Amino acid sequence: MKHSIKARFAIVFVCLMAFVLLCTWCVNNLFLESFYTRAKVHILEMAYTEIDKVVDQANESGKGIIQYYYDSYDPDYKNEGPVQKMFRTMGEKYNLMMVLIDSTTDKFLMSTSGDPQFLKNRVEDYIFGKDMPQASVLKKHENYIIQKAYDKRSDSYYLESWGYFSDNKTIFLISIPLSSIRDSVALSNQFLAYVGSIALIIGSLFIYFTTKRITTPILQLANLSEKMSGLDFEAKYTGDEKDEIGILGNSMNQLSDRLKDTIGQLRSANEELQKDIEEKVKIDEMRKDFIANVSHELKTPIALIQGYAEGLTEGMAEDPESRDYYCEVIMDEANKMNKMVRQLLNLTALEFGNDDLQLECFDLTELIRGVIGSSGILIQQKEAKVKLETFDKIRVCADEFKIEEVITNYINNALNHLGGEREIIITAEENGKEALVTVFNTGQNIPEEDIPKLWTKFFKVDKAHTREYGGSGIGLSIVKAIIDSHNKTCGVRNVKGGVEFWFTLDCYQEKG
């Protein structure tokens, strides 16, 4: 990830640490020496103040500082008096070299290690302005001066305060060596570089693991949001943090669940709406086809009736034989229209469930024989051979009148499409729960793409809707509606030498 929070945190922290270390190094180089010098100046001022108090005490006792120093011996301090101890402690603690001169007696006191005569000569040179060394004044007070001086003999710098104490007769020189300050600054910076580098490495590792722990749940939330944007709501935040990230993760889980439910509902509603739209389109298409088919089926009989009626009106059938023929044609076409209208009404009642079933127990085999017998004249006219391949009694539970219509429509359909050896074979069998009836007729197979459409109203394999095969294309639709109302199945399949239609019924079950 190019701009991850973890990387940015680590970079910012490392840069911040490096900046702090660099600033510290620069401050050390630029200001540590002056800070050190100011601290030493303060020590010189403090030493002057403390020693001046002792000088005042010596003057009040009527003795000079030199005599007072030696007279302050106290056996309790291991041959060292309190004044002596103060001078020694001050010299050791602050690395001071001090020389005090009584200007009235020209006696001097050297309280710390060093060359007494050199220091005595040096302060006298300062007092009388002789052979002044290279020096820069840092502070001026009423009785003394603090300066930074260079000593050629030791090739080093010193901080010195010299002048008179408040009694105006005691001359002093207090010196602090500055030769090691630059080395101390360099050594301090070198040590800071080592320590800073180690601190930078340790801090970088610490911030890496810390930011990793912080950013891991953030990355998990980012992946979760990406999956949610892809409508994958199964992914969930699994962290157990109690902080703001944990609250955000739990909120995203709740949002995921709500979106899943809402989108699921929207999908269901959309599917229902899509089904309704498809059903509406289908109904519109069916209505158009229905109107076109009804118009087509009624057009021919109406035209025939109109033509023959006009012929009678115009006296084209003056002899009784012609007049009877014209009247028979008109009556036959009127009967066909009447039959078609009754079939449509019957089919509509079945499809909308307005025609209640009258369930009863009857012998299916006997019903098939009765339909074959009533169709005897039509069978003779078609020169067909009809065979029933069952002699067993099959008792079924159904609406006998409607099942008779199903068998009649199947037989009429077979007669209208006979071919070849002009045979119709009807079989009926049972398996204990269901009865299966098949009607086979010899002839041409039905195109496979037309088989699903056979149950549609007014559909005919004969695309031109000629009257060669008879029928209106409603019979099979009625069969489908009747069998569906019985909650059973029906169908058609191409077999060797012809076509076979079938349907099933529930067998009668005797109560135990």
Please report, in tens digits, the pLDDT of each residue of the chain (512 residues total): 455 666 777 777 778 878 887 887 787 777 777 888 888 899 999 999 998 888 888 888 877 777 777 776 655 545 667 777 788 888 888 888 888 888 888 787 766 666 677 777 778 778 777 766 677 888 999 889 999 888 777 777 888 898 898 888 888 888 888 756 666 767 777 787 788 788 878 877 887 777 777 777 777 777 777 777 777 767 776 766 667 777 777 777 777 778 777 877 888 888 888 888 888 887 777 666 666 666 655 666 677 777 778 777 777 767 777 777 778 777 877 776 776 666 666 666 666 665 677 888 999 999 999 989 888 888 888 899 999 987 678 999 998 888 888 898 899 889 988 988 899 999 999 887 899 999 999 999 988 888 888 887 666 655 444 444 445 567 788 888 888 888 999 999 999 999 999 999 999 877 65
Looking at residue 464, what is its pLDDT? Answer: 45
Looking at residue 4, what is its pLDDT? Answer: 63
Q: Is 425 helix (H, G, I), strand (E, B) or coil?
A: strand
397 CB-near residues (< 8 Å, 6+ apart): 359, 360, 361, 505, 506, 507, 508, 509
Instruction: Say if residues 396 and 506 touch (Cβ distance below 8 Å).
Output: yes
Three-class secondary structure assignment of 330-390: HHHHHHHHHHHHHHHHHHHHHHCCCCCCCEEEEEHHHHHHHHHHHCHHHHHHCCCEEEEEC
Please tell me whether the overall predicted TM-score, pTM, comes out greater than 0.75 for this model: no
Instruction: Say if residues 497 and 424 touch (Cβ distance below 8 Å).
Output: no
Looking at residue 465, what is its pLDDT? Answer: 45
Looking at residue 181, what is its pLDDT? Answer: 64
What are the backbone angles phi and psi of residue 388, rounded to the nearest 5°?
A: -105, 115
**What is the DSSP code string of 265-277?**
HHHHHHHHHHHHH
DSSP assignment letter at 448? G
Q: Where are the domains of the chain?
A: 5-185, 358-506
What do you get for the CA distance between the two ends of the chain, in Å?
76
Domain 358-506 class? alpha beta
CB burial class (10 A; 0-12, 13-18, 19+) of residue 121? middle
40 CB-near residues (< 8 Å, 6+ apart): 159, 176, 178
Looking at residue 348, what is its pLDDT? Answer: 66
Q: Is 140 helix (H, G, I), strand (E, B) or coil?
A: strand
Looking at residue 1, what is its pLDDT? Answer: 47
DSSP lists the bridge partners of residue 359 as 399
The identity of residue 384, as a single letter, is: A
Instruction: Say if residues 326 and 312 touch (Cβ distance below 8 Å).
Output: yes
**CA 481 to CA 489: how far, in whole Å?**
10
Looking at residue 131, what is its pLDDT? Answer: 60
Looking at residue 460, what is its pLDDT? Answer: 64
Looking at residue 286, what is its pLDDT? Answer: 64
What are the backbone angles phi and psi of residue 3, rounded to the nearest 5°?
A: -125, 50
